[in-house]
Structure 1
Amino acid sequence: MEPFTEKAIHIIQAVPPGKVMTYGQVARQAGSPRGARQIARLLHSMSAKHKLPWHRIVNAQGKIVVADEESRYTQRALLEGEGVEIGRNGQIDLEVYRHDCTDPST
């Protein structure tokens, strides 16, 4: 497994319930500031295998951007079940719910 992928998996696994990170934030923490799309692909292909809390990753505006409607509904329900408030416009307040991963080893 590539070091970036391995580090990204650890970062995603460390996002606590009730918090979110953005695709770009995970990519930066994993060492690739322009790797947000890689994070999206990683979540799509490895979430089940590595038991990743995929639902805690949102776009830079704090919105759920999963393409298929059923997964989008599931993501919203899982986040709300953890206490994350999602506005009428589908946006999460990143000032309140963003997880700041400051430990470079995660």
Structure 2
Amino acid sequence: MTPPKRRPPQAAPVQTDQAVAAICAVIARIPKGWVATYGQIAAMAGLPRRARLVGHILQNLDNGAQIPWHRVVNAKGEISTGQSRNGGDVLQRRLLEQEGVEFNDRGRFNLERFRWRDS
């Protein structure tokens, strides 16, 4: 039996200034006390299925960027963690808690309760 043919991986479109601007514009609209997922941000910015691009852009933001980066979370109702965050996950939780987002003892929150629905 012959294994199925695989298509070669396609290169991801280059991160453009237009994509960065669209993603940052959506994030800037998230109200205090609400969150949005990486995938939700990508879709709202006209870049469906580009959640990783949202994460990449947020990871490379200038320190002085005036967008509420802390309101972007993963689809499991958690803050994404990792060594590359350099303590940003702890800061993110603290900022969200200050805005009223309630975490359980496992570090999760009710995504459906706190998910921003742009109207």
- Shared fold (TM-score greater than 0.5)? yes
* 2:95 maps to 1:78: yes
Deviation of 1:2 after TM superposition, in Å, equals 2.8
Residues 41-98 of structure 1 show CA distances to partners (whole Å, capped at 9, x for unaligned) of 1111125343121111000111101314621111111100000001111112111100
* Aligned twin of 1:42: 57
Given candidates 32, 47, 59, the residue that maps to 1:32 is 47
Partner of 1:5: helix, strand, or coil?
helix
Greater fraction helix: 1
Give percent identity, aligned residues only. Answer: 37
Deviation of 1:101 after TM superposition, in Å, equals 2.2
* Aligned twin of 1:89: 106
Distance 1:79 1:25 in 2: 18
Determine which structure has greater relative contact order: mean sequence separation of CA pairs < 8 Å that are 6+ residues apart, divided by chain length.
1
Runs ≥4 residues deviating over 4 A: none
Contact 1:27 1:39 in 2 (8 A): yes
Given candidates 68, 73, 92, the residue that maps to 1:58 is 73
Partner of 1:48: helix, strand, or coil?
coil
Q: After superposing the two structures, state which structure 1 stretch, 16-25 or 47-56, moved more.
A: 47-56
Distance 2:61 2:46 in 1: 19
Alpha carbons of structure 1 residues 23 and 47: separation in structure 2 relative to 1, 3 Å: farther
Task: Return 5+ residue gaps in structure 1 as ranges.
Answer: none
Contact 1:43 1:52 in 2 (8 A): no
